[in-house]
Structure 1
Amino acid sequence: MINRRHIRVKVMQSVYAIQQSHNDDIIREEKFLKHSILKMYDLYVLNFQLLIEVQKLAAKKIALSKKKILATQADLKPNTKFIDNKLINQLTESVSLEGYVELNKLDNWELDDEYVKIIFDELQKSDLYKKYLNTVDDSFKVDKAFVIDFFKEIVAPNEKLAEYYEDKMISWVDDIPFVNTWVVKTLSKCKLDKTFILSRLYKDKDDEEFVSKLFRKTVLKHKTYEEDITAKTPNWETDRIADIDMILIKMAITEFVSFPSIPVRVTINEFIEIAKDYSTTKSSYFINGVLDKISKEFTKEKRIVKIGRGLL
């Protein structure tokens, strides 16, 4: 499921987009924000579907080999360990996965099956695959470990596949690392004789509402928060502050005043970490300093009121 940090990243991107385009259609941009999060779930599902399609391709090749006129002993009695993989078979039999694919018409691997071939070719060449086929142990534990390594070592790092995903949906560029981790976590939780069920997109209703509330309030109050930031950065002209830094600080202020259950220190730490990935090398220090000053002043002025775990 999507976590709060990645939600913040998605909101940051939408706030940046609306400011750069000088577009004041908040409703439209909020719809696109939510759409991009929903499409991220498609990416999550496509990765499981890809594992299934690679196994299907392997089975098809084995069937064709048996029909050769001059079939060898290896063709007639092939190693079926991969096509018998218990975890991938769980994915194949999953009503949850199949239902989502059909409902959302995810026919990518039918239309662009060359990527299935690319992944299968890479798998066949790998030592991981050869070692797995020669493993005598046919337990679920071994099958699961292989599938996780297959995904981590071959699927996730594949540049051609990444380029394909990026061409399909521009917002997937930043989603790929998060989704790859999400897929591995989901596979790691699979158990023998348990039906495979896709993870939920949001942890709960609060996280889903967090998306809209953080976006709306940041956009609607951005002028007010800009004044607060200017007051705490007297040695900086507003236009000298990097756009992303300004947005991250405004989003953090929004959390300070509009989300009483989120501790101030949690908010500051989260935006420092995002700055490390999306802004300049010195941005995290700058943002930390500004937010520390603002949080102390806002607390003194009672503009920040935290409740529950927010007091910790």
Structure 2
Amino acid sequence: MINRRHIRVKVMQSVYAMLQSHNDDIIKEEKFLKHSILKMYDLYVLNLQLLVEVQKLAAKKIALSKKKILATKEDLKPNTKFIDNKLINTIAESVSVEGYLELNNLNNWEENDEYVKIIFDQLQSSNLYKKYLATTDDSYKIDKAFVIGFFKEIIAPNEKLGEYYEDTMISWSDDIPFVNTWIVKTLSKQKDNTIFVLGKLYKDKDDEEYVSKLFKKTVLKNNEYEQIIEEKTPNWETDRIADIDMILIKMAISEFLNFHSIPTRVTINEYIEVSKDYSTEKSSYFINGVLDKISKEFINNNKIVKIGRGLL
């Protein structure tokens, strides 16, 4: 499922796009934000289905080999360990996966089967695959470890597949690392003799509402928050502050004032971490300093009201 940090990244990107385009249609931009998060779930499902499609291709090649006129002993009695893999078969039989693919018309691997072949060829030539086929232990534990290794070592780092994803959906370029981690967690949690069910997109209703509220509060209070930042950075002209830094600080201010269950220190730490991936080398220090000043003033003026977990 999507976590709060990645939600912050998605909101940051939408706020940046809206401010840069000088677009004031907040309803349209909010819909696009939610759409980009929903499409991230497509990426999650497509990666899981890719495991199944590679297995199907392996089974097809085995069936064709058996029909050779001069079939070898290996052709007639092939190693079926991969096509018998218990975890991949569980995904292939999943009503949850099949239903999502049909409902959302995700037939990417039928229309772009060259990527299935690319992954299968790489898998076949890997030591991971050869070692797995040579294993005599027929356990779910071995099968699961192989599938996780297959995804982490071959699918996730494949550059051609990555380029295909980025060309398919522009927002996926930032989603790929997060989705890859999500898939590994999903595969790791799967247990023997249990049906495969897709993970939830949001942890709960609060996280889903957090997306809209953080986006709207930040955009609607943009000028007000900018004034607060100017007061705390007298030695800086606003046009000298990196655009992403400004947006992250504004989002943090929005969290200080509007999200009573999020501790102030958690907010500051989260935006510092986001800045390390998306802004300049020194941004984290700048953001930390500005947010520390603002939070202390807000606390002294009783502007920050925290309850429950937010008091921690």
| TM-score (norm: length of structure 2) | 1.00
Cα deviation, residue 247, structure 1: 0.0
Separation of aligned partners in 2, 1:132 and 1:15: 47
The equivalent of 2:85 in structure 1 is 85
Q: Amino acid of the residue matched to residue 244 of structure 1?
A: I
Q: 1:106-139: per-residue Cα shift (whole Å, max 9, x none)? A: 0000000000000000000000000000000010
The equivalent of 1:103 in structure 2 is 103
DSSP-derived class of the 1:236 partner: coil
Q: Amino acid of the residue matched to residue 192 of structure 2?
A: L
- The aligned runs of 1:1-312 (5 Å cut-off) are 1-312=1-312
Q: Amino acid of the residue matched to residue 145 of structure 1?
A: A
Separation of aligned partners in 2, 1:45 and 1:62: 26
Separation of aligned partners in 2, 1:192 and 1:260: 41
Aligned-residue identity in percent: 81
The runs of at least 4 consecutive aligned structure 1 residues that moved more than 4 Å come to none
Q: 1:223-282: per-residue Cα shift (whole Å, max 9, x none)? A: 000000000000000000000000000000000000011000000000000000000000
RMSD of the alignment, in Å?
0.3
Q: Amino acid of the residue matched to residue 235 of structure 1?
A: N
Q: Amino acid of the residue matched to residue 47 of structure 1?
A: N
Cα deviation, residue 13, structure 1: 0.1
Cα deviation, residue 311, structure 1: 1.1
Separation of aligned partners in 1, 2:308 and 2:190: 35
Cα deviation, residue 309, structure 1: 1.4
Separation of aligned partners in 2, 1:12 and 1:263: 20
Cα deviation, residue 212, structure 1: 0.1
Separation of aligned partners in 2, 1:244 and 1:220: 17
Cα deviation, residue 88, structure 1: 0.2
Q: Amino acid of the residue matched to residue 193 of structure 1?
A: N
Separation of aligned partners in 1, 2:307 and 2:84: 53
Q: Amino acid of the residue matched to residue 91 of structure 1?
A: I
Separation of aligned partners in 2, 1:16 and 1:250: 11
Cα deviation, residue 285, structure 1: 0.2
Q: Amino acid of the residue matched to residue 110 of structure 1?
A: E
Q: Amino acid of the residue matched to residue 217 of structure 1?
A: K
Q: Amino acid of the residue matched to residue 143 of structure 1?
A: D
Q: 1:286-312: per-residue Cα shift (whole Å, max 9, x none)? A: 000000000000111111111111111
Unpaired runs of 5+ residues, structure 2, are: none
Separation of aligned partners in 2, 1:310 and 1:296: 15
| TM-score (norm: length of structure 1) | 1.00
Separation of aligned partners in 1, 2:310 and 2:145: 40
